[in-house]
Amino acid sequence: MKILATIPLLYQPGAEYEYGLSIDLLGYLVEVVSGMSLDAFFSERIFKPLGMKDTHFFIPEAKRERLATVYERTKDGPITRKSQEPTVDGSLIYSTDYPYNGPRTYFSGGGGLVSTVPDYVRFAQMMLNGGKFNGVRLLSRKTVELMTTDQLANMDVDHGFGLGFGIVRDESDLREIGSVGRYGWGGFFFTNFFIDPQEQMIGISLCQLHPSGDLDLGEKIRILCYQAIID
């Protein structure tokens, strides 16, 4: 964060939308305010209360054999198991073994957690319930409302964005069947989730593929979910 603080902003705040490290900075702020490392804070304040037993920044050795394989597809070739050697893609360098290799000292506020579908359903259900799950309240209803309110109203972007989620703002944002107010996001290895308050519905897909190219499996799964509504 000390290094990040020396780098000038690309734009004035509120002028443009840009993918960045703002949520990583927020993670560090949580550490400063709480006096805990981010992994300890998440474990004590989020994972344990929600019963998320399989969510970690770095997987314990006893659970490593359960880690899903990441696959890759180059051009029109077959899907193959991705090597654990670091991949260099322009300025981006990444590896599939990050959940258990390396120094394991960087806890990113903006990404890097490893989880399972049952665990993530618990988190998503908490959001859908307005901040509570199984009798445990993690967030106030008004906090969830703020998190899922578009913060980019004055910017020329093709989607809304709240505090951590992409948001369908109105009918013009819908490219297919769906609901205004739906929110969610995708992960690096072709994972995706959405939460629809109107339909009281959650969708999660974890495909473990990178690069995914122009595959739209997550979108197709979401469309099928909506097509299955029969009321």
Phi, psi dihedral angles at 88 (to 5 degrees): -105, 115
| Domain coordinates in residue numbering, the chain | 4-227
The mean pLDDT value for 152-181 works out to: 87
Contact of 141 with 130, CB cutoff 8 Å: yes
Indicate whether 165 pLDDT > 90: yes
pTM reported for the whole predicted model: 0.91
pLDDT of 188-220, one tens digit each? Answer: 899 999 999 999 999 999 989 988 877 888 889
pLDDT in tens, 65-80: 999 999 998 777 788 9
Q: What is the pLDDT of residue 155?
A: 81
In this predicted structure, what is the pLDDT of residue 231? 85
| 18/16 Cα distance (integer angstroms) | 6
Given a contact cutoff of 8 angstroms between Cβ atoms, the answer to whether 158 and 17 are in contact is no
**DSSP-derived 3-state class of residue 27:** helix
pLDDT digits (tens, 9 = 90+) for 81-129: 999 899 998 888 999 998 998 788 889 999 889 999 999 999 999 999 9
Nearest Cα neighbor of 166 from 142, 129, 140, 195 is 195
Which CATH number, 3.40.50.300, 1.10.3720.10, 3.40.50.1950, 3.40.710.10, labels domain 4-227? 3.40.710.10
Phi-psi region of 150 (alpha: psi -120 to 50; beta: other; left: phi over 0): beta
The secondary structure of residue 44, as a DSSP letter, is: I
